[in-house]
Structure 1
Amino acid sequence: MISIIIFVVLLVAGFGFFAMNVGKIRANILLGRDVNRSDNKGERIKVMSLIALGQKKMFKRPLPAFLHFCLYAAFVITQIELIEIIADGISGEHRLFRASLGGFYTFMISFIEILSILAFVATFIFLARRNLIKVPRLNMKEMKGWPKLDGNLILVMELILICFIFMMNGADEVLYAQGLSHATDLGDDSFNFAVSQFIGPALFGGMSESTLHIIERIGWWGHIVMVFTFLNYLPFSKHFHIILAFPNTYFSNLNPQGQFTNMDAVMKEVKLMMDPDADPYAAPEEPEGEPQRFGAKDVEDLTWKNLLDSYTCTECGRCTSNCPANQTGKLLSPRKIMMDTRDRLEEKGAGLRKNGKDYDDGKSLLNDYITEEELWACTSCNACVEACPVNIDPLSIIMDMRRYLVMEESKVPTELAGMISNIENNGAPWQFSPDDRLNWKDEQ
């Protein structure tokens, strides 16, 4: 009875703390401006199925994609076993579903064990890629400190979790084979799980009954504690993409790449200027609410989808490794843009919750986190958007912050100032009048 009470308290606390932190993240995301992503539901479901569930973009790099798929599949399928563990914890039973499912139960646990072994191997390879081989995109300067520790922590937690699974299953195999299992009504056949039927006797064979029961209980409790630890670690980690990848890909930008957005207020004024029937002396309409800032200076000027992107970023670095500006030594790193946006959003959200909606810390995403040099290094080629395995759009953030610099602060690099002046005076980027533009055809 005591174990049931302890388990229920752990269950409620684990899911309660997780729900609280998810609520904070949701509130942070909703700080962003509204954008309509409710159209083309069929196409959105298709994109989500291919990109998030099918991991289509990951397989452009086959080896890491296969290793990631091993971890991904193990994570998804293992949740089936987690359902039974929760049921066991609440009921005080052990392997509650074994009697009713029979051979199918053995098949499912065996399948989970095989996936766990693949995940175990993949985890060691991922640790080696980060710390021994030092894959360049995983060891750039923005990955120093917490980002590197975060990546290693989650991999170590995965290894510990798998060890607990095989402690539980392996000790259970030995106990059941000796007729000593505290599970009841399991039939006449031994478990014969695909992996633990060999690991169990090899590691735990010859141990006393009491020792085996202790090992099995350590495995069981260790498994569930690691699950709740992992669950509540997610909101503080880049691995929250495990959950957010699905809504993020569903709300993808379905417009052709390279098609930029226009501000409604600016478009309205331009159309009035181009309308020959418009009255130039008519009084302008009174704006509704506070006027919208041109472009983005801080996180609340971005859309909620931009902010969702920042929380979904996996920090894999594919965007940065494909960025031509970064490859030529420029300061720009699309991954850093997303990481900075998330860090600023966390800071701003925490301040607003503590101090109220009028909170202003005197800082902003622009300049305090992201520099003008980074923004103007971007070539707007969309390589980062194309490379992202979960359809994150760093370019949208870059363009909105550039828009702020140009339209609010009149800041442009010297090279662009001349081009803008030529467009205004000559209708083209070049320093020629429209009449002189074709003079070259008369040259001999």
Structure 2
Amino acid sequence: MNYLPNILFAIALFAGIGYFVFNIRKLIRNIGLGKQIELDSNPSKRWKNMAMIALGQSKMVKRPVAGLMHIIVYVGFIIINIEVLEIIIDGLFGTHRVFKSAGSLYGVLIGFFEILALLVLVAVIVFWIRRNLLKLKRFWKPEMKGWPKNDANFILYFEMVLMVLFLVMNATDTSFQEMNSGNVVSKHIASLFSGFTESSLHLIERSAWWLHILGILVFLNYLYFSKHLHILLAFPNTYYGKLEPKGQFNNLQAVTNEVKMMMDPNVDPFATPSEEEQMAIPEKFGASDITDLSWLQLLNAYTCTECGRCTSECPANQTGKKLSPRKIMMDVRDRTEEIGKHLDKGRNDWEGDDKQLLDNYITREELWACTTCNACVEACPVSIDPLSIILEMRRYLVMEQSAAPTELNGMMTNVENNGAPWPYNQMDRLNWKNEM
């Protein structure tokens, strides 16, 4: 019976880690539904981007108040969980604060953890107030109703409870308090339990200890279902982020070849295309569903933090248009998850259903509202590129369905016939001079 707590701890630990690995494998499979693409090879710049943006939070501080608090929560939560290593060793081998033998160094570390825990608690409360009482506009857009709104609050409650449990665990641990080193915050909480018996304190400390580690395991597995998956995916997403200038759009090689042919007077337009030119012609132009997008675009969708910075910067959204870059990313992720659930039922090859990303999730009105200004890309704190998805879906509408808006069709016809967007013959371009 003396080993029963250790056995139960081992079961909980391996079940939690096992389920986490199971979900990560599903995540990798779902992202793999996207097309393979070749990325520019510049590892030094990619590592730098990852270090600066994902680890250094460089784009978060462009909004100083929210950015500073986010850094506190991010750094604090990660560093405090270093203590999880001690908890795991204690839980598996029946020891108690196994690293306490480090003496004063241990006290310094735990004291640092306690200060961070308090700062995290304060920052999370401020985040909750901003979201639920002050009701910042970007948190109350139409796409943030239902699960997205609840999910954001669940995360805040999770973090509050975990920080409180950590401090209560330290405050009711009599052996730790007797050290009188490292209890910079918990000693003030300990006074609340001054009238409790030693057995009661031990019971509270053990309860807080168990709830803390179980809460961390639950939180770990909740990540897959939450916007907080970006805690893990921000690193690969910033590493594989776009290195080209934001205004540089990708061109289809097949279209490039055709334009070059049209501009070359020596090329026979009726000649049979070479094998290389035929290989450059895709089976489908643009994207109507997530399987037409690249794996990197699906990784973008899963990395979305739903912070709404992209939408708050979008000029189309600011003028009342339906377009919300955040919703675009959420829709891509939801559609990917929908297909993933079909695969979970044992269908190894996706054969399609009666739905697709275009029309069923993202409307044409949203797509054509985009000004391609890249404001959403610039604003994203983890290098997500909603514009690339919008452009691929526009490409499908234009090249596969000839479904561009009337104004755009007219402009493209003029470019084709007159070499300019205006409906005037090239020979008449300089007629304005006659009026001078």
Pair in the same fold by TM > 0.5: yes
Spell out, residue by residue over 1:189-233, the C-alpha distance to the aligned partner (whole angstroms, 9 max, x if none): 434422112221x12123111101101101110110100010000
| CA distance in 2: counterparts of 1:125 and 1:148, whole angstroms | 16
Aligned to 1:107: 108
Alpha-carbon distance in structure 1 between the residues aligned to 2:350 and 2:204: 55
Query: Where do 1:41-52 residues align within 5 Å?
Result: 41-52=43-54
Residues 235-254 of structure 1 aligned to structure 2 (within 5 Å) = 235-254=224-243
2:60: which partner in 1? 58
Report how far residue 10 of structure 1 moved.
Answer: 0.7
Structure 1: give runs of 5+ residues left out of the alignment: 179-188
Q: 1:93 to 1:223 in 2, by over 3 A?
A: same
Alignment partner, residue 180 of structure 2:
190
Distance 1:131 1:350 in 2: 32
Equivalent residue number for residue 373 of structure 1: 365
Q: Which amino acid aligns with 1:418?
A: G
Query: Does the Cα contact within 8 Å between 2:310 and 2:326 map onto a contact in 1?
Result: yes
| Equivalent residue for 1:303, pick from 271, 274, 294 | 294
**How do 1:390-401 residues align onto structure 2 when only pairs under 5 Å count?**
390-401=382-393
The TM-score, its normalising length taken from structure 1, stands at 0.93
**1:255 correspondence with 2:206:** no
Counterparts in 2 of 1:133 and 1:415: CA distance versus 1, 3 Å? same
Residue 315 of structure 2, aligned match among 321, 324, 331: 324
Deviations 1:356-375 (A, max 9, x none): 31432111000000000000
2:125 corresponding residue in structure 1: 124
* Alpha-carbon spacing, 1:358–1:305, altered in 2? closer, same or farther (3 Å): closer
Q: Provide the aligned C-alpha RMSD in A.
A: 1.8
1:20-419 equivalent positions in 2, closer than 5 A? 20-37=22-39, 39-99=41-101, 101-172=102-173, 174-177=174-177, 189-200=179-190, 202-275=191-264, 278=267, 280-282=270-272, 284-285=274-275, 291-354=282-345, 355-419=347-411
Shift of 1:176: 4.6
Does residue 425 (structure 1) correspond to residue 417 (structure 2)? The answer is: yes
- Once the two structures are superposed, residues 282-310 of structure 1 have per-residue CA deviations (whole angstroms, 9 ceiling, x without a partner) of 36539669953100000010111100000
Structure 1 residues 358 and 208: CA distance shift in structure 2, 3 A: closer
Structure 1 residues 369, 230: CA separation in 2 closer, same or farther (over 3 Å shift)? same
1:439 counterpart = 2:405: no
With the length of structure 2 as denominator, give the TM-score of the two structures: 0.95
- TM-superposed CA distance for 1:266, in Å, is 2.9
Tell whether the 8 Å contact from 2:300 to 2:329 is kept in structure 1 after alignment.
yes
Query: Alpha carbons of 1:192 and 1:390: their partners in 2 closer, same or farther (altered >3 Å)?
Result: closer
1:334-360 Cα shifts (integer Å, max 9, x gaps): 000000000000001221342331432
**Contact 2:108 / 2:181 at 8 angstroms: preserved in 1?**
no
Give 1:443 shift: 2.4
Comparing 365-374 with 262-271, which one deviates more in the overlay?
Answer: 262-271
Q: 1-side partners of 2:60 and 2:142: how far apart?
A: 24
- Superposed displacement of residue 47, structure 1: 0.9
Work out the number of aligned pairs and report it. 431
Q: 1:26 to 1:206 in 2, by over 3 A?
A: same
Higher mean C-alpha deviation, range 43-52 or range 137-146: 43-52
Rounded Cα–Cα distance in structure 2 between residues aligned with 1:291 and 1:37: 18
The answer as to whether partners of 1:191 and 1:197 remain within 8 angstroms in 2 is no
Could you tell which deviates more after superposition, 262-271 or 336-345? 262-271
> Shift in Å at residue 439 of structure 1?
2.7
Query: Could you list the runs of 5+ residues in structure 2 that have no partner in the other structure?
Result: none
Q: Do the aligned residues in 1 keep the contact of 2:167 with 2:186 (CA within 8 Å)?
A: yes
Contact between 2:106 and 2:182, CA under 8 Å: does it hold in 1? no
Partner SS, residue 70 of structure 2: helix
The whole-number CA distance in structure 1 between the counterparts of 2:30 and 2:238 is 19
Over 3 Å counting, the alpha-carbon distance change for 1:158 and 1:419 in structure 2 is same
Match of 2:21 in 1: 19
Structure 1 residue 90 displacement after superposition: 1.2
Partner SS, residue 438 of structure 1: helix
Aligned-pair CA distance for 1:167 = 1.5
